[in-house]
Amino acid sequence: MSFLTFFASWSAEAADAHEDLFLVLNPDPETGGSAPALVVLARLASSVLPEVVVALMLLGLLLGPRVRVQRHRLLIVLAAMGLAWLAARALQSLWPQPRPFVVGLGTPWLAHPASPSFPSMHSTVAWAWAASLVLWRKPWVTALAVITAALIAWSRVGLGVHFPIDVTVGAMLGICAALFTHMCFSPLRLRWMQCVGRRTVRRQRTRWLGAQRVL
What is the per-residue pLDDT across 184-201, written as a single tens digit (0 to 9) for each? Answer: 876 555 555 555 555 655
- pLDDT of 1 higher than 70: no
Higher pLDDT pick, 86 / 54 = 86
Contacts of 41 (CB under 8 A, 6+ apart): 155
Q: Which of 7-16, 25-34, 164-173 has the lowest mean pLDDT?
A: 7-16
- pLDDT of 6 higher than 50: no
CA 94 – CA 117 distance, rounded (Å): 12
- pLDDT of 109 higher than 70: yes
Percent pLDDT > 70 in the chain is 73
Return the DSSP state at 136.
T
pLDDT band at 170 (very low <50, low <70, confident <90, very high): very high
Percent pLDDT > 90 in the chain is 38
Q: 22, 101 in Cβ contact below 8 A? A: no
Q: Radius of gyration (Cα) for the chain, nearest Å?
A: 23
Q: What is the pLDDT of residues 111-146, one digit of tens each?
A: 888 889 999 999 999 999 999 999 887 788 889 999
- pLDDT of 43 higher than 80: yes
CA 20 – CA 82 distance, rounded (Å): 33
Query: Could you tell me where the beta strands, DSSP code E, fall in 79-195?
Result: none
Segment 96-123 mean pLDDT? 90
Compute the mean pLDDT over every residue in the chain, rounded to the nearest whole number. 80
CA 50 – CA 125 distance, rounded (Å): 9
CA 183 – CA 109 distance, rounded (Å): 39
- pLDDT of 165 higher than 90: yes
Q: Which of 61-65, 74-78, 119-123 has the lowest mean pLDDT?
A: 61-65
Which of 171, 144, 181 lies closest to 56, judged by CA?
Answer: 144
Contacts of 169 (CB under 8 A, 6+ apart): 118, 119, 120
pLDDT at 7: 44
DSSP string for 91-111: HHHHS----GGGGT-S---S-
Parse the chain into domains and list their residue ranges.
32-202
Segment 164-171 mean pLDDT? 95
pLDDT band at 60 (very low <50, low <70, confident <90, very high): confident
